[in-house]
Structure 1
Amino acid sequence: MMMSISTISGRLKDRGVFILLLLLPLLSEAQISHAVEASSFLFTPNDLTINAGDTVVWTNVSGTHNVNGMQSIFTSNPESFGNDLGEGWVYSFVFNLPGVYDYRCDLHWTAGMTGTITVVSESTGVNQDSKDPLFSIYPNPVAGKLYITAGADIRSVSIYSATGARILLHGDVNKANHEISLEGIVAGIYFVEVRIGNENRQIVRLVKR
């Protein structure tokens, strides 16, 4: 029995809708929204580390404020973002480009109303589910040697740049305490990834002086 073109297209459309419904949970999990409040003379929190593709939503709780992350002010920002001064607003921005973004409230930045958002590429990733730290690093900021202490044997340590490029790898550590020399590495923002066992992994932000 031959089917009409309209019947075939209808079935393909139904199949497409079905596939889309299957993918929606994956899409919603991949992209996360992060909330920041603007009130008094503060952004809360004022320091975020997120994955590329995540959204930051600022809500002005009280007062007259804005979000200014324009490249004309912060020349090292990978791209510009921001809104106008006002009251009672909600502003959101999707950060697709990895890097470190600074921003401020134009009216109150001299009083310390500034913020920083660090966007990590998918190749690096941010462990959003970890509530308890698996390891600690010190000193941070660091100029020379970095010391890592974990509650169990460390499998490997990787250090990534702010753009997600791995610049250092120590594999087969197999001990709970480890040290890494960062002499010769350019000052800036980096990320330390420590793997413990086959599944446990966490990433923390590191400032190199």
Structure 2
Amino acid sequence: MPDFAPTELIALFQRAQAAFTDRVDAVGPEQWDDEALPGWTVADLVAHLVSEALWVPPLLAGEPFDLIDGRFPDDTSDLLGDDPLTGWESAADGALAAFAQDRALLHTVHLSRGPVSAGEYIEEMTADLTVHSWDLARATHGDTELDPALVTAALVVADRLPETGVPGLFDPPLDVPRTAPPQVRLLGRYGRRG
């Protein structure tokens, strides 16, 4: 996503949020306890993204991650409440509003791994939403076809990941030929078989 204007980054982030929202909305009442990823239920996956969205406003306001970590509930049911879709949409709206503030993408964000530009942060959030949209759709037997523009943007972020993966966050990449379709390459880079 290099050389994208801030408005383009925000538009991509909004598209990624919308794609994830569609998949959350499609989760059946009986599917929340289904496995989405090893050790994570569908509810855990959605709660993870709710938590990440809740972090956006304070991080963009300059608060360091270590002061934010633990501020929001860890418990999935507390993060999602009685209506998981509403819980997700509320957190997502707050994140989008924070990124859309004038000059927000010119700030530095202090993550657990150190400072990054807000532009890089929104790129990573967009990629995370895109890959987790696929995870959620796969877990709930929904539409696993990802938006090609989001796949292209997420591949830029994926190519920055270490070849060994990121322990606790991303598995090592799978061996996927460079000639494979973009979505397959993206998923493989995040350790998923697409």
Bin the TM-score by the shorter chain.
under 0.3
- Give 1 or 2: higher helix fraction: 2
- Give 1 or 2: higher strand fraction: 1
Pair member with larger Rg = 1
